[in-house]
Amino acid sequence: MLLYGAIYVPLLIALAALFALLLDSALTGFRRTFQTVLFLPHIVPGLIASIVWLYLYTPGLSPVIDGLEVFGLEIDFLNGAATLFSLVNIAVWSNLGFNVVLIFVALQAIPRSTIEAAKLDGASEGLIAFRVKLPQVFPAVMVATLFTMIGSLQLFTEPFIIQSSGLSDVSSTWTPNMLAYTAAFQSNDYHYAATVSVLIALLAGVLSFTVTKLSNRRALR
């Protein structure tokens, strides 16, 4: 789970910030279309999304795998090291739109006079994006980071569906939530399951406190 979070959290936040900046710079006529396209995966239930991606990851069924084999590439998305990246891909696909909208809304609150002043000083679009806009939406980025980190701790549906398929080497204790579920409903060890659940909640609390303190400290500078 920690390795998953180390890959998933920075990747999702970086992509969300990038797409939000692109939306903020795009022509008004295309903004709603891009927002809709990006946000649609977020409204798909995690169970449905996991089943769809399981189909795309399954050899003999997936058109993606068939297409890769045409170019001589054979990738087992459900086993080995590729499994982790397959799960990260599902989570990014599902949650990117929400974080893009969160950061984009914060970008819309930046006074246009600030951006115009930067343009008059000769700053390029890229410089304005990363030196003017991003610092002013830092609190929104930190909120998105906090939500994403907590989501990583709650990882359950995607690996559970892949494990249930019997096609992957993902075990029934692959994440803490899966461990708690297995202990409670397969081993009937409710005390152990409750202990794991409390530890997950405590870790989420510590992460929330840490991210909030860092965000407040940056805001006071």
pLDDT of residue 129: 87
Against a cut of 0.95, is the pTM above it? no
Rounded Cα gap, residues 104 and 219, in angstroms: 19
Contact between 103 and 144 (Cβ < 8 Å): yes
Residue among 148, 167, 111, 126 nearest 11 (CA)? 148
Q: Are 115 and 128 in contact (CB under 8 A)?
A: yes
Count of C-beta atoms within a 10 Å radius of residue 149: 20
Q: What is the mean pLDDT of the chain?
A: 89
**Lookup: tokens for 146:** 């906090």
**pLDDT tens-digit series, residues 3-24:** 999 999 999 999 999 999 988 8
pLDDT digits (tens, 9 = 90+) for 172-221: 999 999 999 999 999 999 999 999 999 999 999 998 888 888 777 765 55
What does the domain layout of the chain look like in residue ranges? Answer: 2-220
Phi, psi dihedral angles at 180 (to 5 degrees) = -65, -40
List the helix and strand counts (H, then E) for the chain.
12, 0
CA angle 37, 64, 42 (to 5 degrees): 25
Structure tokens at 153: 């701790």
CATH class of 2-220: mainly alpha
Say if residues 31 and 171 touch (Cβ distance below 8 Å): no
Mean pLDDT to the nearest integer, 148-174: 92
Q: Could you tell me the two tokens for 31?
A: 């903004």
Q: Are 40 and 93 in contact (CB under 8 A)?
A: no
